[in-house]
Structure formats: structure tokens, C-alpha cells
């Protein structure tokens, strides 16, 4: 019997939003949910206990980066990802498909797969659908992703069509190579912002009967309204009874807009990367702590946040840490930002359970000064 299961608890009366419960071999995740990114086997700056304290239940790691360093075989010999960095909850590994887009200058793609020149030392890494499955099997994540081709937002129609059909062929090869029933393999829908191609991609993947489906190839340069429009015609094609994952997104407003269009799972480096650079997301909008106006500010970063950064320290002190180059500053802001994202998802879930998803959106955008 499968250790994976997804059930809907409620659907929003005002939108396409859903609240669900997703069971995995390493625990249950209530959706909608945001996964902090631990690309190389660590959410930068935080211990596993600190991640748990944010409310996060599941994290993401990356096939490409871990295959390069320390190597998938090394991770397997050290007990797999869960033991490797002492995380007891669910883990998802991206397949390396996004690196085909982000490291295009360091890669060469054929029908067989892709060959990367390592960004570390220039050594080759060959990644085929079959190899992507083997690496992720060695890493031991609960959820693994098919290898896909992610075209840039400004790619011509013909190039996006080629990427869609190659992604479908690679998905079939991944499905064939996938061996471990303890790992759920997700298919990835591509197609840019072109409705006919998104539908073509989704409909070609549905016969492969994946336990979950991801929407890839967004937040790669297209304007946010185009991303939202794309979700509006993509999610209705995906199975209602399976989780839907929007890859690499995004800003807090993007999470809300995505959930209201039927997305259940998200990941993005934004809360951690921005935190390391002095930008905090708060209930009243973004705060750039390096600004001089915070020099003597005795107030908390966010009075509505339960994290250590907000409960124990002033904005003035947090700013000092960044200006002095102290590592505690990035750690505390990373902790805060991930806590903020988890709180946002929990509050949004409660709004969905109450049938007030659209009301929640309007209220939050007004607080953040976003147009809606």
C-alpha cells in the first residue's frame, strides 16, 4: 500500500483555492504549503531545529548541485538526505531541469539528455532522464521530479513546442526508470504562457498517471499577470485529486495568487536569499533593514511575527548586524522570512477553510500596498 496520499479538506467558495492534507513516508503536510529551499543539503544559515521552529514541514534540495558536491553516492553512503542533514520531515528534490535554463551557457542539450560543465570546476555532468532518476533514488527524497526542459519566457513558439514534446518524452523515460515505491515521481507541465501548449503538455502527461503534477517554466521572466493568467488555464486540466506544485515561485503576493488559482505547493529561494541581503517580508510589507531610517528604531521587525528576530531584537539592532557584517544578521532575517512565509500559508489555509480566500487576498494586498 502506498505511503503517499492526498485528500482535499475544503475548496474555497470565492476562488479555485483548495486546502488539503498530503501524506508522505516522512510525515503529513497541510496544504497550501511553502517549501524552504535547501539546494545543497542545507537551508543556508539555519539548523534543522530552527527550520522546524518556523513551521516548515517539508524542504527542497537539488539534484544537480548535490550530484556535483558531494556526489549522490556519497549522500547515499551517509544514509540518504534525511540522515545526511538530520531532517526528519519530507524532502523534495528538483531534477536539475531548471539548471538547463539557468546554466544554459554551461550546458549542451540533446534528445538523450543534457551535459553540464560544472560551475564549480568545469568537469562534465551528464544528466539523462534515467540518470536523474538514479541520482534522486540515491539521494532518497520522498518526492522526486522528472527531468524537463525549461525554455525562457521570451522563447519563440516553435522552441517552446519542442521543449513541451521533449519534456513529455523525457517524462515517459523517467516513469519507466523510476523504481523506488517509497518515492513519489511528479510530472512537470511546460508550455510557457501559451494556452494551447500548456494544455498539450498536461494532456500528454496525464496518461502517465503521476501521483502529482508540477507547473514549471514560470517566473522565468514573464510579467506576473501573465503567470497568473497561465495558471488559470493550466490548473483546471490537472487532476483534482492530486497535489499541484508551482515550481520556483515566489513573492508573497505570487503565493496568494497561485493558491487562488488552484496551486497547493510552492518553493522559492526568495525568502532566504533576500534575508541574507537585509530584506525582510512583514505583515505590513517589505522592510529593507540597511536603510538609515532604521538606525535608532527600537521597534520589532514585525510585531505580528513569533520568530526570535521579532520577539527579541529591535530593527536598530538587526540593522547594526548587517552594517557590521555580522553573520547573525542574515541568520535572523532568514529565520524571520521563512517564518513569515509559513504563517502566510497557514493564514491562507484558514481563510480557505472559512470560504474567504478572495477576501484574504484583498486584505493582504491592501496591507502590503499591492494593487489587485
| Model pLDDT for residues 37-70, shown as the tens digit of each residue | 999 999 999 999 999 999 999 999 999 999 999 9
CA distance 134 to 131: 5
Kindly state whether residues 235 and 301 are assigned to the same domain: no
pLDDT at 371 over 70: no
Does the annotation mark 148 as catalytic? no
Looking at residues 158-182, what average pLDDT do you find? 97
- In this structure, is residue 290 part of a structural domain? yes
- In this structure, is residue 213 part of a structural domain? yes
Kindly state whether residues 225 and 305 are assigned to the same domain: no
Kindly state whether residues 318 and 214 are assigned to the same domain: no
Kindly state whether residues 207 and 239 are assigned to the same domain: yes
Does the annotation mark 267 as catalytic? yes
Kindly state whether residues 324 and 249 are assigned to the same domain: no
- In this structure, is residue 63 part of a structural domain? yes
Kindly state whether residues 225 and 321 are assigned to the same domain: no
Alpha-carbon distances, residue 109 vs 9, 67, 117, 150 (angstroms)? 42, 18, 12, 12
Alpha-carbon distances, residue 329 vs 274, 275, 311 (angstroms)? 12, 9, 15
Give the model confidence (pLDDT) of 239-295 as tens digits: 999 999 999 998 999 999 999 999 999 999 999 999 999 999 999 999 999 999 999
Kindly state whether residues 285 and 255 are assigned to the same domain: no
Give me 88's grid cell: 526528519
**Among 268, 301, 316, which residue terminates a domain?**
268
The contacts found for 299-308 with CB under 8 angstroms, 24 or more apart, are 301/336, 302/336, 302/340, 305/336, 305/339, 305/340, 305/343, 306/339, 306/343, 307/53, 307/54, 307/335, 307/336, 307/339, 307/340, 308/332, 308/335
- In this structure, is residue 369 part of a structural domain? no
Kindly state whether residues 289 and 226 are assigned to the same domain: no
What is the structure's pLDDT at 1?
Answer: 56
Kindly state whether residues 173 and 200 are assigned to the same domain: yes
**Among 245, 268, 291, which residue terminates a domain?**
268
Kindly state whether residues 127 and 204 are assigned to the same domain: yes
What is the structure's pLDDT at 101?
Answer: 81
Residue in 94, 148, 254, 264 annotated catalytic: 94
Q: What is the mean pLDDT of the chain?
A: 96
- In this structure, is residue 196 part of a structural domain? yes
Residue positions counted in the chain? 372
Q: Structurally, how many domains does the chain consist of? A: 2
pLDDT at 113 over 60: yes
Confidence of residue 7 (pLDDT cuts 50, 70, 90): very high
CA torsion 130-135-140-146 (nearest 10°) is: -40
What is the structure's pLDDT at 124?
Answer: 87
Kindly state whether residues 140 and 193 are assigned to the same domain: yes
- In this structure, is residue 186 part of a structural domain? yes
Selected residue with higher pLDDT from 104 and 251: 251
- Domain containing 96 equals 26-268
Residue in 12, 142, 254, 267 annotated catalytic: 267
Sheet with 27-31: list strands edge to edge: 5-11, 18-24, 27-31
What is the structure's pLDDT at 370?
Answer: 82
Confidence of residue 372 (pLDDT cuts 50, 70, 90): very low
Q: What percentage of the chain has pLDDT greater than the value 70?
A: 99
- In this structure, is residue 148 part of a structural domain? yes
CA distance 152 to 111: 18
- In this structure, is residue 200 part of a structural domain? yes
Q: Say which CATH number the domain at 121 has.
A: 3.20.20.105
**Among 226, 241, 268, which residue terminates a domain?**
268
Kindly state whether residues 151 and 118 are assigned to the same domain: yes
Amino acid at each position: 500500500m502506498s505511503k503517499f496520499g492526498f485528500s482535499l479538506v475544503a475548496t474555497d467558495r470565492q476562488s479555485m483555492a483548495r486546502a488539503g492534507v498530503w501524506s508522505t513516508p516522512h510525515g503529513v503536510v497541510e496544504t497550501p504549503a511553502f517549501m524552504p529551499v535547501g539546494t545543497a543539503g542545507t537551508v543556508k544559515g539555519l539548523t534543522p531545529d530552527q527550520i522546524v521552529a518556523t513551521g516548515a514541514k517539508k524542504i527542497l534540495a537539488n539534484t544537480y548541485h548535490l550530484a556535483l558536491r558531494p556526489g549522490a553516492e556519497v549522500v547515499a553512503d551517509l544514509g540518504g538526505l534525511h540522515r545526511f542533514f538530520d531532517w526528519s520531515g519530507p524532502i523534495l528534490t528538483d531534477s536539475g531541469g531548471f539548471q538547463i535554463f539557468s546554466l544554459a551557457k554551461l550546458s549542451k542539450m540533446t534528445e538523450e539528455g543534457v551535459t553540464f560543465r560544472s560551475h564549480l570546476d568545469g568537469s562534465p555532468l551528464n544528466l539523462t532522464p534515467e540518470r536523474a532518476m538514479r541520482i534522486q533514488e540515491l539521494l532518497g527524497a520522498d518526492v522526486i521530479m522528472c527531468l524537463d526542459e525549461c525554455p525562457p519566457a521570451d522563447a519563440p513558439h516553435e522552441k517552446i513546442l519542442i521543449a513541451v514534446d521533449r519534456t513529455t518524452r523525457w517524462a515517459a523515460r523517467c516513469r519507466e526508470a523510476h523504481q523506488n515505491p517509497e518515492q513519489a515521481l511528479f510530472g512537470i507541465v511546460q508550455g510557457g504562457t501559451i494556452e494551447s501548449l500548456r494544455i498539450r503538455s498536461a494532456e500528454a502527461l496525464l496518461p502517465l498517471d503521476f501521483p502529482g503534477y508540477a507547473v514549471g517554466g514560470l517566473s522565468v521572466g514573464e510579467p506576473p499577470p501573465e503567470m497568473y493568467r497561465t495558471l488559470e488555464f493550466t490548473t483546471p486540466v490537472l487532476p483534482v485529486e492530486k497535489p499541484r506544485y508551482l515550481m520556483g515561485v515566489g513573492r508573497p503576493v505570487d503565493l496568494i495568487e497561485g493558491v487562488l488559482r488552484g496551486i497547493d505547493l510552492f518553493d522559492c529561494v526568495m525568502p532566504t536569499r533576500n534575508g541574507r541581503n537585509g530584506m525582510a517580508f512583514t505583515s505590513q510589507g517589505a522592510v529593507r533593514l540597511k536603510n538609515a531610517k532604521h538606525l535608532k528604531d527600537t521597534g520589532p521587525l514585525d510585531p505580528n511575527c513569533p520568530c526570535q528576530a521579532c520577539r527579541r531584537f529591535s530593527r536598530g539592532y538587526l540593522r547594526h548586524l548587517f552594517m557590521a557584517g555580522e553573520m547573525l544578521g542574515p541568520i535572523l532575517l532568514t529565520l524571520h522570512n521563512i517564518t513569515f512565509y509559513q504563517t502566510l500559508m497557514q493564514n491562507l489555509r484558514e481563510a480557505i477553510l472559512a470560504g474567504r480566500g478572495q477576501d484574504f487576498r484583498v486584505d493582504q494586498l491592501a496591507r502590503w500596498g499591492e494593487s489587485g
